Structure 1
Amino acid sequence: MIKPTKTRRQLHQELEQQVQEFLHKGGHVNEVPRGLSGRLDANGPLISIFDGTSQEDRTPLPEVVAAIEARKKPNLAQKLKKPRPRKKVILDDFGQPLRWEWVEE
């Protein structure tokens, strides 16, 4: 049997009750001014967590990339080799349309 999930209102009330119990037992909440950062040097740039030599540790695989690209290109080559037929108007000597013909170029 599946336990029914709590609604947002129930979760909010439960959290509010826990906060009130904490405060009633003598706990206190430190207020932090808005805009204050937890970083040591908030004026400097963010420090990357991806420090290291990952660029140097990579193994070049040009033959794999070439094989993948080669699989993509036959589809394009087939489309370029076989153009779709198109309708062409056939005109009489006076420039009036006579009929339409399908032509392959």
Structure 2
Amino acid sequence: MKKPQTKAELRATLEREMRRYLDAGGQVESVPPGTSGRDPDGSRYTTTSLFNEPRPSRTPVDGVIAAIEARRQAMRQRQPARRVRKRDAGGRQRVIYDDFGEPVRRVWDDSK
């Protein structure tokens, strides 16, 4: 697994690339703080392509939903299987204690 880059490593990489660009003759234009990156003359809504395309046709899924609902109703109408608990079928195991509270033996008790 590749180790993710730390912030310090990222800063050093950016600093090296910027140094290399400036040493090769590149220049950095100073922009005043608070200047937006958007075109001030352009419309606010023309840059988004959210509603420019025609509406796509939808795929009808009524049959699929009806089949799912029918299966769900069939599952609800089924009776759940009766679970037989192991201790109900064979009784219950009891511990017999002596006068000092120490266990002596275990016996099966079939009475309820």
* TM-score, structure 2 as length reference: 0.45
Give TM-score scaled by structure 1 length.
0.48
Structure with the higher fraction of residues in helix conformation: 1
